[in-house]
Structure formats: C-alpha cells, structure tokens
Amino acid sequence: MTMLARAAARWSTENLISWGLDRNGVAAISISTQRGGLVLLHKILQIAPDVAVLFLDTGYHFQETLDFRDELAAKWDLNLVNLEPRLSHLTLEMVPAKVYETDPDACCGSRKVDVLREALVDYSVWFTALRREQSLSRRDTAKVERYEQSETHTLYKVNPLVDWTFQDIMTYTHEHGIPEHPLYGEGYSSIGCAPCTVPTFGADDSRDGRWKGRKVECGLHVRVTAE
C-alpha cells in the first residue's frame, strides 16, 4: 500500500471530495440517478457546481430513468454529459438480437465500459458513489484508486462514500430533500437497464435484482489498482 493509500484510508468524505477537486485537472462524477450517486453529487455541487456529470445512456434505460435524469439536470442546473455508444462500439453486438440476454458482458462492455473509458480521457479525477456494503464485489473498494484509462492516461478514481451504510444514504437523502428515482417506489432496489433489472421488494439497495443473478457488476469498476 502506498503512502497515499494509507493516508486516504483515514480521510473523511469531505476530505476525499476536496482532495479530488484540488487535483490539477478536471473532475467528473458518474451517476446512474440512484440514491448514492445523488448524495455524492449533492455534496460535490456545494463546492464545484460545474463538475462534469457523466451519464451512460445505454439505449436500454427505463423511460422513468431518462425523465428523472432530465428533471434532475434542470432542477440542479447540471453540467450533464450524456454518453451514448457509437456505432463503432456496437459492431460486435449487432449480430445476435437481445445480446443483453445471450452475452450481458459483451453488451455492458460495448454500451458502458468502452464508452465511459473513452470519455474519461478528458478527466483526471473520476468520482463514484461505490459503497463497500453494496456487494461482495465492492467489499475491498479503496477510497482512492488508480484507473488505467489507456496505456498513456491514468486517472484517480475517488470513492468518498465507500464506508457509508444504506441508512447513512437514506438519512442524508431525507435531511437534504434529495430527489429519488420513482422506481424505488415500485419495489426496485438497484436500478440499471430495463432488460437487466427486476424489482426485489427489499428494503435496501442491494444489487440482487440486477442481471437475474448472472453477474453483479457491469465491468466499469475493474480497471483499477489501489493507489
């Protein structure tokens, strides 16, 4: 573990946000319009109202998600960067219909991972709302990680909410009047693309309703090394 990793492990959410925004370069936050992302975005906007807000528009979102994104962008005057896959991203998935059923890794790869990885070339810091308690796959998430965008560009991935609990998120959401995705009210606990998300009717934000249990991550969060 490096000196930065040891230091960052003790930093508060506010310390991490300040550190990320103070780096020489440009910061971005990715959101999927879920509660945790909006809590983090709300905190960052207090300091950096023009932070780039990246949204992966996969083409398969619920209409409720797109409407909520647009309402939020207007309400909070967001510097929204809507990222859509280009035809070149989709070439490999054009042959099988409903590739999200036959090969969800390929579908996420072309509609999320490749698109975001290309977009991140413009940034030196990427904020995420990952939390360790969300799933086993996120249990070891560090507060600051290095993300290899390409062979020539590496940026810092900063995760200020890693040790927040679901209750922490709910408390902040209610105390600050953060808007909530309408599908939470219909039994969804983690909301992704429509073909790959089902309601769980659980009380938390576990990812059990994603990909029908076939996988738990889209792949966005694997190209990292602890800093």
> Residue 125 or 193: which CB sits closer to ligand SF4?
193
Q: Give the per-residue SS3 of 167-203.
A: HHHHHHHHHCCCCCCHHHHHCCCCCCEHHHECCCCCC
> Residue 20 or 209: which CB sits closer to ligand SF4?
209
User: 92: number of CA atoms within 13 Å, CB side?
Assistant: 14
Q: Report in angstroms the alpha-carbon separations of 9 from 1, 163, 221.
A: 10, 10, 19
> Residue 104 or 160: which CB sits closer to ligand SF4?
104
**Could you tell me the two tokens for 27?**
């910061």
Active-site choice (107, 193, 196, 218): 218
**What angle is formed at CA 188 by the lines to CA 182 and CA 194, rounded to 5 degrees?**
85
Active site residue 196: no
Cβ 74 to ligand SF4 shortest distance, Å:
25
Cβ 127 to ligand SF4 shortest distance, Å:
21
> Residue 13 or 189: which CB sits closer to ligand SF4?
189
| Spatial strand order in the sheet of 27-31 | 79-83, 52-56, 27-31, 125-127, 154-158, 144-148, 224-226
Closest-by-Cβ residue to ligand SF4 is: 193
Cβ 104 to ligand SF4 shortest distance, Å:
4
Q: Give one word for 177, left, alpha or beta, with left for phi > 0 and alpha for psi -120 to 50.
A: left
Q: Which residues are at the interface with ligand SF4 (CB under 6 A)?
A: 58, 60, 100, 104, 107-108, 111-112, 192-193, 195-196, 218
Cβ 92 to ligand SF4 shortest distance, Å:
13
Residues belonging to the active site: 218
